[in-house]
Amino acid sequence: MKILFDQGTPVPLRRHLIEHTVVTAYEQGWSKLSNGDLLQAAEEAGFQLFITTDQNLRYQQNLRERQMAIVVLLSTSWPKISHRIDEIKDIVNAMSVGGYAEIPI
């Protein structure tokens, strides 16, 4: 699966998703795009999953029309997230187009 990490998503999570292709918004040159523009660019580039820590995303964007899945980590703290790696991997692996999940950390 081709995964895009949003700006606040801890990059160390990448090394636990080795069966996927993971790219950051920064690496794509998209760090200055607003959420709507970022989601559109990601879909156009063929990303299948967007991982973010933006807890307001579902209130700011119409996610029903999206052609990729979205996972929201409810923390930016890598030490806390690192204790939930198995759960995060299971959710990531179960996501399909248009899916949405929030992971409480």
Tens of pLDDT along 30-65?
A: 999 988 899 999 999 999 999 999 887 776 666 677
Strand-pair partners of 52: 72
pTM for the model: 0.91
- Which pLDDT score is estimated for 36? 83
- Which pLDDT score is estimated for 63? 67
- Which pLDDT score is estimated for 105? 87
Q: Quickly tell me which residue has 């980590």 as its tokens.
A: 73
CB atoms near residue 88 (< 10 Å)? 20
Q: Which residues contact 81 (CB under 8 A, 6 or more apart)?
A: 10, 13, 73, 75, 88, 105
